[in-house]
């Protein structure tokens, strides 16, 4: 199995900050310890496992070199460079409203 990923890792904090700057997500107002995040997740009633949540909430990285080699193309040095071009697609296809800074 191959994971399509950029060879340069992006931290969750950096990605969420960028999505907030582009108004796809509200800005992060405070950081919670992991145990408090898990309690909030359990209290939310949504059916997301701790493992699924950790894949989104914690920094992790997959080696995507093989994907790029097989695709015979070179990734841009900035893994988030194409994000502005993708914003209209996310707004059109996902339940995303434009978040305004408070």
The pLDDT tens digits for 3-45 are 778 888 889 889 889 988 888 888 888 889 999 999 999 999 9
Domain ranges of the chain: 12-92
Rounded distance, CA 98 to CA 60, Å? 27
Q: Are 52 and 46 in contact (CB under 8 A)?
A: no
Rounded distance, CA 24 to CA 18, Å? 9
For tokens 């893994």, what's the residue?
A: 79
Q: Kindly report, residue by residue over 75-85, the tens digit of the pLDDT.
A: 988 989 888 89
**pTM for this structure?**
0.71
Q: Kindly report, residue by residue over 53-100, the tens digit of the pLDDT.
A: 999 889 888 888 899 999 999 998 898 988 889 888 888 887 766 665
């Amino acid at each position: 199995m191959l994971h399509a990923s950029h060879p340069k890792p992006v931290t969750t904090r950096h990605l969420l900050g960028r999505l907030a700057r582009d108004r796809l997500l509200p800005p992060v107002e405070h950081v919670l310890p992991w145990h408090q995040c898990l309690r909030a997740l359990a209290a939310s009633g949504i059916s997301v496992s701790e493992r699924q949540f950790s894949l989104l909430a914690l920094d992790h990285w997959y080696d995507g070199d093989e994907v790029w080699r097989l695709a015979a193309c070179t990734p841009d040095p900035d893994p988030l460079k194409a994000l502005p071009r993708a914003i209209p697609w996310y707004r059109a296809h996902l339940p995303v409203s434009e978040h305004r800074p408070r």
